[in-house]
Amino acid sequence: MNKKLCLLISLLLLSFLNVFSQTGKAEKTISIQFSNLSLQTALNRFEQASGYTFFYDAEQVNLQQTVSMNVKQATVSKAVTELLKNTGLGFEIANLQITLFNKKEPARQQKKEVRVTGVVSDDTGEPIIGANVLVQGTTIGAITDLDGRYTLNVPAGSTLVISYIGYTNRQIRVNAAGNYDIRLLEDSEMLNEVVVVGYGTQKKVNLTGSVATVNAESLEARAVASVSAALAGTMPGVTTIQNSGAPGAQSGEITIRGKNSINATSPLVIVDGVPGSMNSINPNDIESVSVLKDAASSAIYGVQAANGVILITTKKGKVGQRARVNYSGTVSWASPTARLQFLGAADYATLYNEATLNENPNAAIPYSEEDIRKFRDGSDPIGHPDVDWYNEVMKKSALETQHSLSVTGGTDKTSYMASLAYLYQDGLSQDKNYERYNGRINLDSQITDWLAWGLNTSAYRGIDNDGFVTFNQLLHHVIRITPVNPIRDKDGNFVHPGKDNPVAEQGRTGMDRILNQQLNATAYLTLTPLKGLSIKGVYSLRHDYRDRRRFKKDYSYGGQSSGKREGHHNYYNWNWYTSQLLVNYNKSFGKHSFGLLGGIEQVEYTYRYTETSRTGGGNDNLPESLNTLDASSQKNKDGGNEIARLSYFGRLQYDYENKYLFEANIRSDASSRFPKENRWGVFPAFSAGWRLSEEAFIKDNAEWLSNLKLRIGWGKTGNEELKSTDIYPSVATYAYDKTMFNHTLYATTHESRYVNPNLKWATVTNYELGLEAGFLNNMLGFELSLYKKSTNDMLLYLPILEVVGMKAPAQNAGSVENKGFDLSIFHNKQVNKDFKYSVNFNVAYVKNEITDMRKTEGEDPDNKKYWRLEGYPIGSFYGYVADGYFNTEDDLKNYPKRTGSEKLGDIKYKDLDGNKKIDSADRQVIGQNFPSWTAGLNFAATYKDFDFSMLWQGAFNVDAYYTMEAAYSFFNSGKVLKRHLDRWTPQNHNASYPRLTLGSKINYSTSSFWLQDASYVRLKNISLGYNLPKRFLDKIGFDRMKLYVAGENLLTLSGLEGLDPESPSDTRGNFYSNVKKVTVGLKMTF
């Protein structure tokens, strides 16, 4: 452990030393030599060698004249002077831009305004409508009209910047009035947007798989603390459910195109090329997120890719860029999006009387009219209190602050990015809060033309604080205790009214602190021995550590004691060691282009844990020490496991004229989690694409069609979902008093589970058909994907005879199928020089179905509300079908009953099998806990210095099943919900709820009655920002400063009562609800 930590610290120090040594260098120098090249070729050579970009008006610069130069370690300005001698050209350098102009032009009158006109056209001569013509460094500008024409009055000597979506920006110098016609060339970088894929990057237009991306700009628009929250609603087919708003709850549930298994369903997360975790990343450090949704794009990750792959790329510096400091800070106020609404004391007492008489009409009512009056008017707060326990315990809102500071830059050969971040989240209860610290250094250096190296290091520390009675337990006590129970007695002492008093518990029960730490270091070395050939070696170390300490104090109130002190110390260590060797070769000749990737990857994983506890004795002032507790009570437990994986993989890409595309991927994995006989698995994928928009018969006849691509794919991925206990024998120990031999009691052990030596990979086979289109220079477009995924050999525990006395072995037996589509539609427009906007809409549908359970259909062992049935989705609710109430005596007499003790006002159930009684055969699937439909709508606009964005998210055809305190009246002698006011009575047969009862469970059977539609539409994020004007920032030395206000989850449209629609779908209400936030923020760059 210490050696690994020392290694990481050494790498961090080396990174800093290298950054600072490079940053301290003088002005950049350049060495370059050539003879008798055209000026155009020479400029290209210079750009490649220097990292600078030339701007010029091609009509004023003779690009065909020949030039020569030979400089060594010359400054850029001296090198440009040498390049341009005898050309008649002058130049100006600003940042990394070199503007050329003709020296022979008349002297410029800087103060004089001149009138310029012209037409902006594309490379075919067609006028471009809506191009932006702007005087550099000012707000003076114009938008071209229907004929592509513009007219401007500008200062003589100005530089015009002409831009349009999908085209390379042009700059021209205006020295005199006149006509300046401009031709824009298609921007290959924009039209061929590069996206991150497995072990590399690809041009988006050449992708043949289904890859969704989110860039830093989109992530930056949302003030969120976690990556999963930032992804919600942004990509079709990627379902993100934030089921908790608790401080430190960083990981939402992410599912890509449906659930592939009843076991593991989480996608693989890759951070900067190696396996990682989303929970430990500062969202401000992210450059882009790519989601590989189909096998054609994800099969390169083989056995880990069955549930999709999320690729996270963090930010880097830029070569030749001066050091830039970025700061982002926010302050937020969080409050619950929903809460259960309970009745006050007077209504509680009234309904309690009614429930008493419903169960026994002859019973004496517990609350008199006088009692109810006192509850209502508050005249006797001790004897007749009216306590809103939620408001007494929970805060109205909780404070959250974030601060992020980064430095990026580079020298002529080295780029760097270093960042620090801090997050604090207060909780809604007194004891609950969370702190997170992040640090990162990304360093890349080009040592020679053929050798480069880099180092990515990051550290994370999260501290989750709670009471020994945790927030969820405290909330359970809140929803159980009734409003007629007082907080304190007449002397001001806390009371214990037969239930835990949550006000008395706050700050007194002890502590529950979880410390999570993570260290990552990834180093690489890249050799480029030949043009197009690169060899890259990568080594990565990740260390995770968790320390959980719980201590129960000795406290008492109301004559009740907490019992003995308790102390629990648990330690967990995880280590991942990843080695990769990657060989890439890319070659183009004539109309053909191809790329080859070959790689080897080895991953080693170790896990160790120790759990220790003591009770009795102790000292409340030393909660973190077990030594003060009774040593004789100590209990210990430890364990761990080790896993290794070896993989070989390859990829072939080919395109002809950028029209006909083909890609093949293959990966072979061996995992120690499987028996030797079945340790290797092979996962191939093939995909093809046809860019119809590049065909002459479309190009010549449909100029409005910017992009049209048809793609098709097939592939297999794997799932190593089994547990280590599935392939290794498990031994159980019987207590000493269970076995007797020769009149003596002995402890005995025996094998407790059969081991199946034939276990193998579960595989997912994916078929995909996609269509992408862009119109009017990609001002409008869409992407549609149709898919079918089939999971086979899913692990099941098939039953064996009970007389064997052992647990059933795991077997490859089950199958699951997902079918659906993803659709995204986009539109963006530059309306005029001041206003532009973009709209992105996405929608996805998936039908999930279990197709084979090998006669093991039945309850989910982890949650008996869910059933696993062939022909139905994973996570199906199974129960009776409600059919109203028993409203009359004839109903009681003639309608089939479940128990025979039903009364008027109880729930009726449908007799589905027609046998005149309600039994288990009358149950069926009544709902599902995963949405079939999801959607997102993102709108963004800028007007002058203001920007605005909003994101709507929705989920449909999904259900929630609420139970116990969240549904039933007086459950466990608890509260009554406000919605119980609309209950069945002899005068109200169309009520929302059955008759009130106190202890009867006759209506508690799992049925459609308690099922609620959990579909929703939510304003996930809204933001309004103001960017301070450049003229002001120049005076104070800043590049950027933005003030903004944002909201998260501010509006939710849902039919649910009292609970958030993203909350757990089977709940009693004792969980930390999702939260809505109001945020003010500041972003600065200098």
Q: List domains and CATH numbers for the chain.
A: 1-104 (3.55.50.30)
What would the mean pLDDT of 108-124 be, rounded to a whole number? Answer: 73
Give the pLDDT of residue 699: 81
- List the single range of 98-102, 132-136, 520-524, 1069-1073 with lowest mean pLDDT: 98-102
In the predicted structure, residue 526 carries a pLDDT above the cut 70: yes
pLDDT, mean of residues 419-448: 95
Name which of 44, 96, 104, 32 is nearest 68 in CA terms.
Answer: 32
CA 380 – CA 389 distance, rounded (Å): 18
pTM of the model: 0.82
Q: Are 618 and 565 in contact (CB under 8 A)?
A: yes
pLDDT in the model for residue 17:
37
pLDDT of 103 strictly over 70:
yes
Q: Across the strands, what pairs with 717?
A: 764
**Comparison of pLDDT for 585 and 626, the residue scoring more:** 585
> Residue 667's pLDDT band (boundaries 50, 70, 90)?
very high
What average pLDDT does the chain have?
Answer: 87
Q: Please give the average per-residue pLDDT across 750-759, as a whole number.
A: 76
pLDDT band at 891 (very low <50, low <70, confident <90, very high): very high
pLDDT at 15: 42
Angle at 209 between CA 208 and CA 213, to 5 degrees: 115
Residue 798: is its pLDDT beyond 90?
Answer: no
For residue 645, list its beta bridge partners: 603, 671
Q: Give yes or no for a contact between 934 and 822, defined as CB atoms under 8 angstroms apart.
A: no
The pLDDT assigned to 457 comes to 97
CA–CA separation, 1085 vs 315, rounded Å?
15
CA–CA gap between residue 851 and residue 744 (Å, rounded)? 53
- Closest C-alpha among 842, 822, 934, 817 to residue 253: 934
Give the model's pLDDT for residue 49.
78
Q: Give the mean model confidence (pLDDT) for residues 608-615.
A: 94
Tokens of 355: 């429930």
Q: How far apart are CA 481 and CA 478, in angstroms?
A: 6
User: At residue 28, does pLDDT exceed 70?
Assistant: no
Amino acid at the residue 753: R
Q: Is the pLDDT of residue 446 over 50?
A: yes
pLDDT confidence bin for 1053, thresholds 50/70/90: very high
Structure confidence at residue 188 (pLDDT): 47
Highest mean pLDDT range out of 6-20, 141-155, 251-265, 472-486? Answer: 472-486
> Strand 592-615 relative to strand 566-589: parallel, antiparallel, unpaired?
antiparallel
When pLDDT is averaged across residues 1019-1045 and rounded to a whole number, the result is 92
| HSE-up of residue 1033 (Cα within 13 Å, Cβ side) | 15
Task: Give the confidence band of 108 by pLDDT, cuts at 50, 70, 90.
Answer: very low
Average pLDDT over residues 145-161: 85
For the ranges 307-316, 855-864, 890-899, the lowest mean pLDDT is seen at 855-864
352, pLDDT greater than 50: yes
6 pLDDT more than 60: no
- Show Cβ contacts of residue 416 under 8 Å, excluding neighbours closer than 6 positions: 15, 18, 19, 22, 23, 317, 407, 408, 409, 410, 441, 442, 443, 444
- pLDDT-derived band at 105, boundaries 50, 70, 90: low
- Quick one: what percent of the chain has pLDDT higher than 70? 91
pLDDT value, residue 856: 75
Identity of the amino acid at 325? V
Contact 487, 503 (CB under 8 A): yes
778-800 per-residue burial string, b: 16 or more CB within 10 A, e: under 16? bbbbbbebebebbbbbbbbbeee
Q: What is the pLDDT of residue 760?
A: 86
Q: Is pLDDT of 175 > 90?
A: no
**What integer pLDDT is reported at residue 189 of this predicted model?**
46
Choose the weakest-confidence range: 393-407, 783-797, 850-864, 975-989.
Answer: 850-864
Structure tokens that stand for 5 in this block: 């930590």
DSSP H or E stretch at residue 935? strand 933-943
Please tell me the predicted confidence (pLDDT) of residue 445.
94
